[in-house]
Amino acid sequence: MAGSTGVGLLENKNVVVYGAGGAVGSAVAHGFAREGARVFLTGRNRDVVDTVGKEISAAGGAVESAVVDALDEASVAEHLDAVVADAGGVDVSFNAIGISPRGLQGIPLAELAVENFMRPVTTYAQAHFVTAKSAARHMIPRGSGVIMMHTPEPARVSLPLVGGMSVGWAAMEALNRALSAEWAQHGVRSICLRTTGMVETPAIDVVYGLHADALGIPVDQFTAAAVAMTHRKRPTTLAELTAVAVFLASGRAAAMTGTVANLTGGLIVD
């Protein structure tokens, strides 16, 4: 839905979304398109990304899809070069990639294989560095742009049985600060959005199931305990994440960079 003036917050903006086939990536892509952005969807699964693209197009949004591996610098750079050649530039880069928690969460650290501990650390750090670096090559010469990422609460709060995931998410938030320290002076902002686990997403079904099994309790009991940790006694929703992502990607958030938008509903108090 466009702003009250009838002009969307992201009118005439070009937005690239990595991991666009996932729950977070598809939700923010829809939100960006509703606010007038031309959205370039990417992912490793053509069918999944195309499905999201068709939904956005059917709703009247401007969208294009491509197969891109966010871990592959050459793949990312080639795609962005094509986007810039076609659209004239890239204004927002939102990396929403995720990896399966199976074999990575719900396992005590003392029993976790080293390679399974390291996988989220290296995957998240590499993918976010690759996509940010590639976007900055185009954003810095223009003097504007926004790099965006998303983390859940274990990036900041200590929780058991999360394995290397919490370390990988914390690394993302540290990278967010580092990007801003170097690039904000050139007009390129870096922003992270931190939420609770979002029970609407298929990934959280799996995560909470793994933790419940490890603790020997029903998954409903684990979910209720996680939700009870927040002040408002409910988790972040995809709609809430999307609404804030749209605002932060817009010029109205021009003073915000190198920071984490806290959407945890009081689970984490800054």
What is the model's pLDDT at position 270? 85
Please give the Cα distance from 51 to 132 (Å, whole number).
Answer: 25
Higher-pLDDT residue of 7, 49? 49
pLDDT at 5 over 60: no
pLDDT, average across residues 83-103: 97
Neighbours of 85 (CB within 10 A): 8
Which tens digits make up the pLDDT trace of 61-81?
Answer: 999 999 999 999 999 999 999
Please give the Cα distance from 118 to 132 (Å, whole number).
Answer: 21
DSSP 133-202: HHHHHHHHHHT-EEEEEEEEGGGTS--TT-TTHHHHHHHHHHHHHHHHHHHGGGTEEEEEEEE---TTSH
Which tens digits make up the pLDDT trace of 202-245?
Answer: 999 999 999 999 999 999 999 999 999 999 999 999 999 999 99
What is the model's pLDDT at position 2? 52
What is the model's pLDDT at position 176? 98
pTM summary value: 0.95
What is the model's pLDDT at position 227? 96
Closest CA to 188 of 254, 94, 261, 97: 254
pLDDT at 6 over 80: no
pLDDT at 194 over 90: yes
